[in-house]
Amino acid sequence: MTTSPRTPSTLSRRGILLATPVVLGTGALAACSGSGSGGSGSSGSDGGGQTGGTLTIYTTGEEMSFDPATSQSLAITSLGLTARRLTAWKTSPDAPTELIPDLATDTGTPSEDGKTWTFTLQEGLKFEDGTPITAAAVKYGLERSFAPELTGGLTYHKVLLEGGEDYAGPFSGEHLDSIEAVDDLTLVLHLNRPYGDFGWVASNPAFAPVPEDSGQPETYATQPVTSGPYRVESYSPGAQAVLVRNEHWDAGTDQARAGGPDTIEFALAQDASVVAQSIIADRPDAQDSFLASFVPTAQLVQARNDPKVGDRLVTSGPGALEYLVLNTESEALKDVNIRKALQYAVDKEAYRTAKGGEISGDFATTLITPGIAGREEYNLYAEAPSGDAEEAKRLLAEAGAQDLSLRLVIRDDQTAAAESIQQALTRVGISVTIQPLDANAYQSEVTAGDGSAYDMVLSAWQPDMPSPNANLTPLFESTQIGNGNYNLARYANEEVDAALLEASSTLDADEAAAKWAAVDKRIMEDSPVVPLIYSKNSFIHGSGVENFVIGQFPAYPNYLTTTLKA
């Protein structure tokens, strides 16, 4: 999703399309590990942590919503504290993220043709009011997400469930037959095509249970009936959201959540620089807290050079893909050899330096990002990150490209990074005009436009789940061109469309991984984008926080397992 700075708790529909690495804000949508001062993806003890205390999470966002139907929250961030789903994620800095059961007893059982998925709920699960969590409640929660009154949530299930394209939610008394609550514990979902990653889709917010006698659009965002370890005690927009323990949550049924703190307070509308200073100094009121947004550049330098900070500064491994979009419909870039010349012309070293140096990310050559099982490393173009200007000039000459002039559209906070692209292309004889846009203009002219406003765009992508499908399909399938979608390269290749469909329909994980790796490389042969870096994200917490873990995917801390020291 195109973003202004935001926090992991709000991440993105079909991924986060970033202008710059996200600074997460709560409310509504990323090499080796290492931090500037010794952090390596996790800090604190390796045990289960302590129970008790109040954890404060500082966020720049002014509002929060606890309605799973409208949420783009990653499975490990804010909404995961209050809303369980059919499946969940187990994150680790040492291994790819694993899909695990949550409400269900397993991660879903597909039929032989891959079009019917069955989930069996655990027995004895309860909402915060003590009423049973049933298959009917999960059905109703899913149905609510189709209602036009509830917009903004993830849409994977909406295009996969049979009849979903014509369904408008349950508030008029209509139900979706492809979501079948067979009995209190059995949910059967009928898809319109085979889909191998549906177990991952079932970890999305819409798969949280909602009691049918609640869930009204006007109130549920702030007065949810929760299924996770916490319930909402109070909420004041622009100030604070307070979560307290849900006494009906059973830790023995939950593999994903520690449920450590007694209370979790979200401090809203915070200045990230001010908060970072307090946590760096480890002031008493900041010791049991962490900053949900990335550490701002000035404070990051300060924290890296302060020996008292130590492993309280935690930097992720490589995460979201930052890339240069090449508009394949642009007259200047229709020739694939000109686009390939840009692969050699771009200086990724200079780009990374403009972003803050080595701590900002690792050099990228593939579209599938690190931390996703089945990813294969390859490089079709320049061996050196600084590029190969002579090869770029040769390809341009072969293509007969003379006096090439390109428009590079950016967000208004990307100037330094854009200038590194401009300078690299200038050295091979390409003139680049940089056009900064504010968020509204960017949305109108880039994601919702007809492609005429730009030749190139600086962007980034954080997938919603650790699946190659979430890396590739939103960015490169031809149906995702225009209308607010994210195929900004306006790339259309029938062969690739068919390969994407085949890979997503493959149930065997190893077979699917091989197909995804092949389509990744096939897309890069057409050069619709130039991969630049895989972003690294730096976070900071107080000395009272432990089990603050950033897994290989996503490059954000796992809120669900963070605890406080005794």
**566 residues of the chain, pLDDT tens digit each:** 333 333 333 333 333 333 333 323 333 222 322 233 334 466 654 445 567 999 999 999 999 999 999 999 999 999 999 999 999 999 999 888 999 999 999 999 999 999 999 999 999 999 999 999 999 999 999 999 999 999 999 999 999 999 999 999 999 999 999 999 999 999 999 999 999 999 999 999 999 999 998 888 889 999 999 999 999 999 999 999 999 999 999 999 999 999 999 999 999 999 999 999 999 999 999 999 999 999 998 999 999 999 999 999 999 999 999 999 999 999 999 999 999 999 999 999 999 999 989 999 999 999 999 988 879 999 999 999 999 999 999 999 999 998 999 999 999 889 999 999 999 999 999 999 999 999 889 989 999 999 999 999 999 999 999 999 999 999 999 999 998 899 999 999 999 999 999 999 999 999 999 999 999 999 999 999 999 999 999 999 999 999 999 999 999 999 999 999 98
Answer whether residue 243 is part of any domain.
no
DSSP classification of residue 142: H
SS3 196: coil
Q: Which domain range does residue 456 map to?
A: 321-535
86: which 2 tokens? 């059919």
Nearest alpha-carbon partner for 312 in 297, 323, 324, 300 = 300
C-beta of residue 497 within 8 angstroms of C-beta of residue 522: no
Nearest alpha-carbon partner for 463 in 204, 256, 257, 194 = 204
C-beta of residue 366 within 8 angstroms of C-beta of residue 531: yes
The pLDDT of residue 194 is 96
In the numeric block, the tokens 């900002």 are attached to: 360
For position 399, which CATH number holds?
Answer: 3.10.105.10
Is the pTM higher than 0.75? The answer reads yes
Q: With 0-12 CB in 10 A as exposed, 13-18 as middle and 19+ as buried, what is 311?
A: middle
SS3 35: coil
Q: Go through the chain and tell me how many residues it has.
A: 566
The pLDDT of residue 3 is 32
Answer whether residue 109 is part of any domain.
no
In the numeric block, the tokens 């799973």 are attached to: 68
253: which 2 tokens? 């049924």
- Calpha distance 354→347 (Å, rounded): 11
The pLDDT of residue 48 is 52
Answer whether residue 178 is part of any domain.
no
Q: What is the 3-state secondary structure (H, E, C) of 461-474?
A: EECCCCCHHHHHHH
Count the domains in the chain: 1
C-beta of residue 66 within 8 angstroms of C-beta of residue 232: yes
C-beta of residue 30 within 8 angstroms of C-beta of residue 460: yes
Q: With 0-12 CB in 10 A as exposed, 13-18 as middle and 19+ as buried, what is 219?
A: exposed
Answer whether residue 364 is part of any domain.
yes
Sequence-ordered list of residues with C-beta below 8 angstroms from that of 294, at least 6 positions apart, any chain: 5, 21, 22, 23, 24, 272, 537, 538, 539
The pLDDT of residue 49 is 54
SS3 394: helix
496: which 2 tokens? 């690739």
Nearest alpha-carbon partner for 553 in 378, 321, 382, 349 = 321
DSSP classification of residue 37: T
Sequence-ordered list of residues with C-beta below 8 angstroms from that of 218, at least 6 positions apart, any chain: none
Answer whether residue 459 is part of any domain.
yes
- E strand or H helix at 95: strand 95-101
- Calpha distance 4→2 (Å, rounded): 7
C-beta of residue 366 within 8 angstroms of C-beta of residue 520: yes
Answer whether residue 385 is part of any domain.
yes
The pLDDT of residue 279 is 98
- Calpha distance 375→388 (Å, rounded): 26
- Calpha distance 374→366 (Å, rounded): 13
Answer whether residue 169 is part of any domain.
no
Q: What radius of gyration do the chain's Cα atoms show?
A: 23
388: which 2 tokens? 């190969």
Tell me the sheet residues that pair with 315.
538
499: which 2 tokens? 């390969």
List C-alpha distances in Å: 248 to 113, 129, 229.
38, 7, 8
The pLDDT of residue 43 is 60
The pLDDT of residue 426 is 97
First to last CA, the chain: 39
Q: With 0-12 CB in 10 A as exposed, 13-18 as middle and 19+ as buried, what is 111?
A: middle
- E strand or H helix at 243: strand 240-245
424: which 2 tokens? 């690299």
- Calpha distance 31→299 (Å, rounded): 23
Answer whether residue 250 is part of any domain.
no
- Calpha distance 129→141 (Å, rounded): 17
In the numeric block, the tokens 């329909």 are attached to: 505
SS3 481: coil
- Calpha distance 471→526 (Å, rounded): 17
In the numeric block, the tokens 């949508």 are attached to: 29
- Calpha distance 190→204 (Å, rounded): 17
For the beta carbon of residue 124, count every other beta carbon within 10 angstroms. Answer: 10
